[in-house]
A and B are shown apart, each in its own frame.
Chain A
């Protein structure tokens, strides 16, 4: 599939008032092309409202939104929205339309030819790993929650948008399916390079997906930063409480064995014990910790053909300490 790339986004002073109260209050945010941004906060924090200002489902009372340097307010809202992917919970699929027709909604609005739409539907179903021959003509109610969600993502990507807005898209599926869908979303993001803004109240989901997390409280940005940064150095008590940042195990999940090898005691020459359990460099420190808790004094970090070093409890602790700073 062609790589359409991502749009850059600039929010300046975006404010939305509901009955005098600011639901979104002067938000400034710059998003680079191809970034995966997660808007994180509890309900009422304004994260969904902020997202919806971008495709003008909510009109801001003040502030500007630029997409690729162009003012989003300059375009008719329908035309703007057709150029931006939009995915919500599975209930957003049209029950009276087949999977193929659901995916074809935006291309049809844009007046694409039948052949081009059919080819696009095939490609998108393949992209979200649903066999086109099996799923094309089925109806949403005949699909599982996870399958419906995949169709929702395919529909959002139908017109090759450079910007994708996802509003708690995986809120209605169980934990196992959600993890699977998160993995797929990351894969598609890497493949297409689309800029993604993703709203969630699920901290683990935010940590897993985001290049940068935007933590919101009462319509204001509390902190913006990488998952590790936000978790290790919460800017406010609110952020610390929301992310439960004292939970060291959660932070270990964001670090991998390769990061920890930078510690002084973890030099390659230390990797001698043949009976030490092995992990890959990509293994998270949580997995390493789990292996160490199994009884080994050290665990060996190795690719298929190369031993990179070894890690002990102290190395894991040191890696954790380095994230605070």
Chain B
């Protein structure tokens, strides 16, 4: 705890950097995953291929994925961002697709029968119905990314991982503990917050 008490400013700054990286990755990942999830829910064959590809990415060990991206993108924040976005796809796309597929056919029938257009059915019935499951995916992805982002310091992308890495390399355990602790708190806060959001829609 020494490090945390002596350098609260550094921990706060690294935490903020961590949040920025995760938030940016999550926002980009959601923007990509939503349309992909819709495709997976609607088109069985293309959907199967997309899910298989995302699953393959998901099984690559995270450090190995960072390593694979270095020849393409070099080291730094951008590489970390791309890796995190790729990782999040699996969790996000799967939940969007599961959520949309789970909408009761009777509701869609009722919506059609009342005279809604396909777009109105999608935005007014299917998306609101799928929202708890979609938010559940965002929750899982955010926890996974907060944890993964600690590895981003290996490729010089900063964040709380930098404290952990430096602490381990320079025999400064209290610095490593401070970084790990902050990351854990961050993950718990994200989990609780998004869980609440999820339940509000259920």
Contact = CB atoms under 8 A, between A and B. Distances in A.
Interface of A: 55, 57, 78-83, 86, 88-89, 91-96, 105-106, 109, 155, 165
A157 to B, nearest CB: 12
Residue among B110, B114, B129 with the most chain A CB within 10 A?
B114
Given A95-B129, A96-B129, A106 B106 contact: no
Interface string B92-119: 0000000000001011011111111100
Nearest to B105: A91
Given A94-B125, A96-B128, A96-B129, A89 B115 contact: no
Nearest to A93: B110
A165 B125 CA distance: 21
Contacts of B106: 88-89, 91-92
Given A86-B113, A96-B129, 7 more contacts: A57-B113, A79-B115, A80-B115, A81-B114, A88-B109, A95-B129, A109-B115
Contacts of B104: 91
B110 A88 contact: yes
B110 A92 contact: yes
Interface of B: 104, 106-107, 109-117, 120, 125, 128-129, 201
Most buried by A among B109, B111, B115, B116: B115
7 contacts: A57-B113, A88-B106, A88-B113, A92-B109, A94-B128, A106-B115, A155-B114
Contact of A55 (B111, B113, B117, B129): B113
B118 to A, nearest CB: 9
The 9 closest A-B pairs by CB, nearest first: A92-B110, A82-B115, A86-B113, A81-B115, A91-B106, A96-B128, A78-B115, A78-B117, A106-B114
A210 B129 CA distance: 36
A86 B106 CA distance: 12
A78 B116 contact: yes
B171 to A, nearest CB: 55
B101 to A, nearest CB: 17
A80 B120 CA distance: 16
A82 B125 CA distance: 17
A105 B114 contact: yes
